[in-house]
Structures are given as C-alpha cells and as structure tokens.
Amino acid sequence: MKIKVQYSTMIVNNLEESVHFYRDVLGFTEGYHVDLPNGARITIMNSEDGASVELIEGKMFETGLYSIGTDVDDLDETLKHLKENGYEPITPIVPTTVGRQTFVLDPNGVRICLIEHSEEYKKKWS
C-alpha cells in the first residue's frame, strides 16, 4: 500500500485573487483549471517541489482548509487497511474525472481524500 500526499484543498472566496496570491506572491505555477457543472471552479497550483494546492471556489463549501489529498496505488487495499485499524470512510467511493476517491477522517477530524488515479490519468500526467 502506497500513500503519497499530493495537495491540500482550500475553499476560497475569490478564485482569481487566490490564484494571483499563489502564483505571483508565492511563486506557484498554474497546473490546470476545471469548471464544474454545479458552478464550482477549481484551479490546481503547483509548487516547485511537486506538491500542489487545489483551490476551489464554490458556494456549497465553507471557506478554509477542506482536505489533504493523497494519491493511493490501490483504493480497495487502502480502505481494507483503514477498516482493520478502526477507520471507516465518511463518503462512498465515487468516480471522478481522474479516477475514483473517498474520504476518511483522521483522529482530529481532518478530511483525508484518498484518490486512486486512473491509468489514463497516470499516462497523461507522468
């Protein structure tokens, strides 16, 4: 089982203002942008060392840190391991544009997003 922290997800009030801060003040580069059907907008900001910040502007969420995003090599194996250690996912496994994901809470109530990327995504971005 491999788990790698990939990014932190932040809910922002103003996406353009946040992109400006991470790009022009902190030196991140823009990765990609997605406009969702529900009106939410997402921009991935990449740091020089490979970690990213996912910025989401959407009225359905409270502003602030939303979750820590992790890349897992086998979501089913990871969930089995978590359950064996007393942790249950807080959402069902859902398909995404990059694979499939679910969330679990750490002992402090912080949401951890567990993402298993599709082979197509891995080929495109590796």
Count helices and strands (H / E) in the chain.
Answer: 3, 8
Check: CB of residue 27 under 8 Å from CB of residue 92. Answer: no
Backbone angles phi, psi at 111, to 5 degrees: -70, 130
For the question of whether the overall pTM of this predicted structure is more than 0.85, the answer is no
Structure confidence at residue 122 as a pLDDT band (50, 70, 90) = low
* CB within 8 Å of 34: residues ≥ 6 apart: 41, 42, 43, 97
pLDDT digits (tens, 9 = 90+) for 67-113: 999 999 999 999 999 999 999 999 999 998 889 999 999 988 999 99
